[in-house]
Amino acid sequence: MSFLKAFLNDESGATMIEYGLVAALVSVAAIVALQLLGSQLQIIFNTVSSYLAAAAS
């Protein structure tokens, strides 16, 4: 009976689940941010690339 009480009072697994949920939330936020900024970053990199190509020639 004491084993069952100890098992039910053990909250170490809950902490792992909370860390997993936080990691999932951060991942989703990063994906959304990259989706929103993706086209702008592509424009910036293309501009820098064209400037470097012009400077090299």
Q: What confidence score (pLDDT) does residue 44 get?
A: 93
Express each pLDDT in 5-47 by its tens digit. Answer: 887 777 777 778 889 999 999 999 999 999 999 889 899 999 9
Measured CA to CA, the distance from residue 21 to residue 12 in angstroms comes to 15
**Residues 34, 28: Cα–Cα separation, whole Å:** 10
Q: Got the DSSP string for 1-57?
A: -HHHHHHHH--HHHHHHHHHHHHHHHHHHHHHHHHHHHHHHHHHHHHHHHHHHHHH-
- Judged against a pLDDT cut of 90, whether residue 3 lies above it is answered with no
- pLDDT given for residue 50 in this prediction: 96
Residue 2 has pLDDT above 90, yes or no: no
Find how far residue 9's CA is from the centre of its chain: 32
pLDDT of residue 39: 87
With a cut of 80, say whether residue 55 has pLDDT above it: yes
